[in-house]
């Protein structure tokens, strides 16, 4: 698996971990990748092919296997950014389900980041999504 496939795999796993892939989540997934290299240089057809391949693994082997295959292909810096994107994507529909929370917790435990770094990343992205202003 290439690093581009692996990074997209983590993002896909984040939106699929609760057993559904809603329209808002699918759009958020696309937006989270489209400005990043190397995805920004790919055609719609190439991106479709990438996700078709990843969806086969997801459907046949599940979210855990998709993540298992992806993580070794990512450097710690790439893992950190993939985690940030995953947290961002779990907030795409403005609700983080129990399944999404479990997924993020398990992902943090599997990353090869310095102690406490994954939690800091999760907390920072969660703070960005906090609805803290009164109406």
Domains annotated on the chain, with CATH: 3-129 (1.10.3680)
Tell me, what's the pLDDT at 131?
A: 81
Structure tokens at 10: 């983590």
Tell me, what's the pLDDT at 117?
A: 96
pTM of the complete model beyond 0.95: no
Tell me, what's the pLDDT at 134?
A: 65
Tell me, what's the pLDDT at 27?
A: 83
Structure tokens at 132: 């803290």
Tell me, what's the pLDDT at 57?
A: 93
Angle, alpha carbons 88-125-49 (nearest 5°): 25
Low-confidence residues of the chain: pLDDT under 50: none
Mention every residue, 6+ apart, whose C-beta is less than 8 A from residue 34.
40
Tell me, what's the pLDDT at 26?
A: 78
């Amino acid at each position: 698996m290439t690093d581009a496939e692996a990074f997209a795999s983590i993002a896909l796993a984040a939106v699929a971990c609760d057993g559904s892939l809603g329209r808002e989540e699918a759009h958020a997934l696309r937006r989270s990748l489209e400005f990043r290299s190397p995805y920004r240089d790919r055609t719609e057809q190439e991106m479709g092919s990438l996700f078709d391949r990843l969806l086969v693994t997801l459907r046949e082997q599940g979210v855990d296997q998709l993540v298992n295959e992806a993580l070794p292909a990512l450097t710690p810096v790439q893992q950190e950014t993939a985690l940030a994107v995953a947290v961002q994507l779990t907030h795409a529909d403005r609700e983080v389900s129990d399944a999404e929370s479990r997924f993020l917790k398990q992902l943090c435990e599997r990353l090869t980041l310095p102690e406490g770094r994954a939690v800091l990343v999760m907390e920072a992205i969660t703070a960005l999504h906090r609805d803290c202003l009164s109406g």
